[in-house]
Structure 1
């Protein structure tokens, strides 16, 4: 009888469930952080690319600011193109061919997971990029 009680006490049937309950929230938080970091990194790269390409287009075609903005919206990904704030500035306003062009792009990107939203204080994060090139 005593041996049966000792065997019952030494059973470890629920050990795996308890270990999973302890580690699963940490693993989910790490997974959400990886997903959101990748999403934000991809969007930052897209905004950087759009500002660079917009500046390149502006130095070759120093025409109207609306044409440059339309070109940037055409090459940007859909989630950025519709909501981004684009500012095109020529340093020499009298003759744009003799100065620099500055392209600023800013956008609020949605956070995908609510867990990471707690750490960045909101459901969106502002990403921006600026590119300055000499008009030739």
Structure 2
């Protein structure tokens, strides 16, 4: 019986790294999913504002308001066509949002690098 005293410690030492990687992976998945849903919501909100005739500054304000939980330095947006006068009634407006998210999981983040998310929303101008 004396030879089995450290068995629990050895088993814990072997399983702990696997459990930590799994925990960090679940956290990363949640962060990526949150960013994806936020981009989707912001794209729809911005496209709706553009579709009712807002100018580019109002559209950008709506994007910034809807993406408040994301890092603004990693967020880029494109409005096509630019300028309120270039969006006549019946045409389409496209809002494209790109976001780069860094992973927290130690091994996976070194292998894959940041994840690039893109959301493109198209609406008809009223």
TM superposition score category, shorter chain reference? 0.7 to 0.9
With normalisation by structure 1, the TM-score equals 0.79
With normalisation by structure 2, the TM-score equals 0.84
The verdict on how the C-alpha distance between 1:57 and 1:80 changes in structure 2, with shifts beyond 3 A counting, is farther
Aligned to 2:60: 69
SS of the residue aligned with 1:98?
Answer: coil
CA distance in 1, matches of 2:62, 2:17: 45
Unaligned runs of 5+ in 1: 1-6
CA distance in 2, matches of 1:32, 1:38: 10
Query: In the alignment, which of 2, 6, 30 is matched to residue 22 of structure 2?
Result: 30
Where do 4+ consecutive residues of structure 1 move more than 6 Å?
A: none
Number of equivalenced pairs: 124
Q: Does 1:84 align with 2:75?
A: yes
The verdict on how the C-alpha distance between 1:31 and 1:110 changes in structure 2, with shifts beyond 3 A counting, is same
Query: In the alignment, which of 106, 109, 121 is matched to residue 114 of structure 1?
Result: 106
Output the aligned Cα RMSD. Answer: 2.1
Greater C-alpha Rg: 1
Aligned to 1:53: 45
Unaligned runs of 5+ in 2: none
SS of the residue aligned with 2:4?
Answer: coil
